[in-house]
Amino acid sequence: MYHRPRIIPTLLLEDGMLVKTKKFKAPRYLGDIMNAVKIFNNKGVDELCILDISATRNGKAPDTELLHDIATEAFMPLSYGGGICKIEQAKKLFRCGFEKVIFNTALLKNPKLVKEAVCYAGSQSVVASIDVKSEFFGKPVCYIEDGRERITLHPVALARHAEKLGVGEILLTSISNEGSMNGYDIKLVKSVTDAVNIPVIANGGAGHVEDLREVLEEGHADAAAAGSMFVFYGRNRAVLINMPKEEELIGAGVYDMQ
């Protein structure tokens, strides 16, 4: 037997198409998201996180038609974030087949909505997304509105605020590391995991299986999410939907033998 933390591919949608960003900028078109979902199905991933990076920015509601198609195709638990501004939209996502909804901007601008979602579906089905950029002298600064609006709360304070709203876990993304494939911001992750009593999913920067192990062990993360690592291959970042084999994860210490 061995301990098996969750490893979660994070897929980004822009206007219905699969893209990948770097530091939340310059989205690169990757293809049809349905193809990616089918491949991850075959690879037996633990969970799939889908974030629509254009919904909030453009004031659009979640594309429930596309999301219904994804949920119908997917054989793994699904979470979704982007453009959810009404409880009815969240309810529709649950009815589509999504196990979790993710809130970022609403944590501060519409906390009532977050609480309503918790009351409707339970804490385990509501995730707080916290996006953090490392600025002058490494100071961590939180952003909302898809990384466009700077706020004054420290990541630890925002995480504790989200916990008080009743969310069941936190998706913590380093904007500065996102898409870099140079490793997670371990200091940031540890500061948040040590401050709250709910699971933290680390996101932003994974490039190798060793990065996953490091953030789980040294960052105390409960799960590791990644984007580029699962959609690019090689030095030239060729598009290839992939997932490390279980033997690789065991060999790198991501899955610890018990």
Say how many C-beta atoms besides its own lie within 10 A of residue 240's C-beta: 12
Please check the confidence at residue 137 and state whether its pLDDT lies above 90: no
Let me know the angle formed at the C-alpha of 154 by 101 and 56, rounded to the nearest 5 degrees: 35
pLDDT band at residue 2, thresholds of 50, 70 and 90?
Answer: low
Q: Which residues are catalytic?
A: 131
Residues of the domain holding 182: 2-257
Model confidence over 202-254: pLDDT tens digits? 999 999 999 999 999 999 999 999 999 999 988 889 999 999 988 899 988 99
Q: What is the pTM of this model?
A: 0.96
256: CB partners within 8 A, 6+ apart: 2, 3
Per-residue confidence (pLDDT) for residue 138, from 0 to 100: 85
Model confidence over 83-134: pLDDT tens digits? 999 999 999 999 999 999 999 999 999 999 999 999 999 999 999 999 999 9
152/160 Cα distance (integer angstroms): 14
- CATH number for 250: 3.20.20.70
Per-residue confidence (pLDDT) for residue 258, from 0 to 100: 47
Per-residue confidence (pLDDT) for residue 136, from 0 to 100: 84
**Main-chain phi, psi angles of 80, to 5 degrees:** -140, 140
194/255 Cα distance (integer angstroms): 21
**CA distances from residue 158 to 22, 126, 134, 155, 220 in whole angstroms, order as listed:** 23, 15, 16, 5, 18
Domain count of the fold of the chain:
1
Two structure tokens written together for 74: 């997917």
Q: Judge whether 97 and 119 are in contact, CB under 8 Å.
A: no
| Exposure of 178 in the CB half-sphere (CA atoms within 13 A) | 25
